[in-house]
Structure 1
Amino acid sequence: MRELATLEEMKALVGQEVAVSDWVEISQQRVDLFAEASGDHQWIHVDVERAALESPFGGTVAHGFMTLALVPAMLVNALHMADMRMGINYGLNKVRFPAPVPVGSRLRARLTIQAIEDIEGGAQVEWGVVVEREGGVKPVCVAEFLMRRY
């Protein structure tokens, strides 16, 4: 885990990759729980037998939005911002899912500070996030993630 002591230290790193998260395993149970939480029960995510027979991916795959939902936890896993009292997910500028996430995959995030803007009481950080699959050729998610830190 990378330690960043101050906002000023972060500002000096704009444009650089600053951290890589640990691997996160994508189990069928995790996918099923996300399907329950989101109401998205499409068979390519939850029907193991049908997906093995009919899916172009050869089995079930994680929801793209599940992959995206893991980004804040991956960020917290990858780095600690010592002078931050509270962080808020502010939004996204752009998100793409260039490759599927087969169940059984392991994912991790590469985090780049793209921009930092001062706001009242803190700063808005624009993170460039690339989520990669172990052994994969293409990223499974590429996003511009906005976080407000106070």
Structure 2
Amino acid sequence: MPIEISSFEEFSTYVGKDLGTSEPLEITQEQINKFADATLDHQWIHVDIERAKAGPFGQPIAHGYLTLSLVPNMWEQILVAKNLKMMVNYGMNNLKFGQPVPVGSKLLLSAHLENVTNLRGICKAEIGARMEVVGEKKPAFTATMILLYHFDS
């Protein structure tokens, strides 16, 4: 069950705490192919199954940016903002891709609230994000998500 917040004050009570983990999400070849089409990135390590089998990873891998693009959906499984005018994805700091994500992998997003700042009524949240590959020690990526929450007064 996701955490529900409806104000800067409620959000600030979670600073320094783990916020939770999403449900597992399996990466399929179909997702990879659709992402390749959408981004015009058809590198063989992603879409050429036979060549990828003989490549360095032994099978196709997801685009790093595909794993990153899954964050909004997975984040909503961790935290839901109520009483909200809008939320803006402001940026990612210190994004590091730690390991490839082979087709068939299951991913989990875990989040830790590093800081919140009240910017004249806008809540700036800095969230430590870690995209886990189920069964692996190293994450697919780590980053600090920066989100701006515009709550109704």
The TM-score with structure 2 as length reference comes to 0.92
Structure 2's unaligned 5+ residue stretches are none
Mapped to 2, the partners of 1:149 and 1:125 lie a distance apart of 8
Mapped to 1, the partners of 2:74 and 2:98 lie a distance apart of 19
What amino acid does structure 2 have at the position aligned with 1:74?
M
TM-superposed deviation, 1:16: 1.1
Structure 1's unaligned 5+ residue stretches are none
TM-superposed deviation, 1:25: 1.1
TM-superposed deviation, 1:145: 0.8
Mapped to 1, the partners of 2:148 and 2:125 lie a distance apart of 6
Partner residue in 2 for 1:71: 71
Mapped to 1, the partners of 2:77 and 2:86 lie a distance apart of 15
Partner residue in 1 for 2:37: 36
Q: How does 1:76-91 map to 2 (within 5 A)?
A: 76-91=76-91
Residues 12-62 of structure 1: CA distance to partner in whole angstroms, max 9, x if unpaired? Answer: 111111121111110000001111111111100000000001x21110000
Partner residue in 2 for 1:106: 106
What amino acid does structure 2 have at the position aligned with 1:32?
N
Aligned pairs, how many?
Answer: 149
Mapped to 2, the partners of 1:52 and 1:120 lie a distance apart of 53
More divergent stretch after superposition (8-17 vs 23-32): 8-17
- Asked whether the 8 Å contact 1:3–1:82 carries over to 2, the reply is no
